[in-house]
Amino acid sequence: MTCQCGCGLTVANCNMPTCGFSVPLRAEIDAMIRKGKSRAQIIAFYRHKYGEKILSAPTAEGFNLLAWTMPFIALVLGGGLMVLVVGRWRSNSPSPSAPSGSKPAGEPSPFDPELRRRLENELKERR
C-alpha cells in the first residue's frame, strides 16, 4: 500500500519516523493481523476506505487491465507497422543484380528506337 503523506513510498518503507499516515496504519494493520484477518481482507478494507490510490500497484481488472496491456499492444503494433513499411521500401527499390541501364519489364523506353538509330547514323556520318 502507498503511503499518503506524499513521500511516494509504501507504508512499510516510509522513512519519516513521525509520519501521520504510515505509523498509525502500521499499528492498525498489526491489530488486524492479531485478530486473524487475512492479507486480502486487510487490502480490501483499505481499498474500500481510501480507494485505488492506496494500492502501490494497480489491480489487473477493468480499466487497469488496459493500462497493464497497452504498452505491449503499442510495441506489437509499432513493430508490425515497421515491418510493413520496410517491406514496401524494399519492394520499391531497384534490384542490385539488374544492370544500371536496364528498365523493369513493362516500363516504356524514354526514347524511340527509330530516332536512336537515326541519331547514331548521323553521328557516324559527321566523324
Q: Using the CB atoms, write b or e for 4-27: b if 16+ within 10 Å.
A: bbeeebebeebeeeebebbeebee
- Residue 1's pLDDT is 87
What per-residue confidence (pLDDT) applies to 80?
95
Tell me the whole-structure pTM to 2 decimals: 0.47
Cβ-Cβ contacts under 8 Å for 52 (sequence gap 6 or more): 58, 59, 64
CA separation for the pair 37, 17 (Å, rounded): 26
Q: What is the pLDDT of residues 29-78, one digit of tens each?
A: 999 999 999 999 999 999 899 888 888 776 667 777 787 788 999 999 99
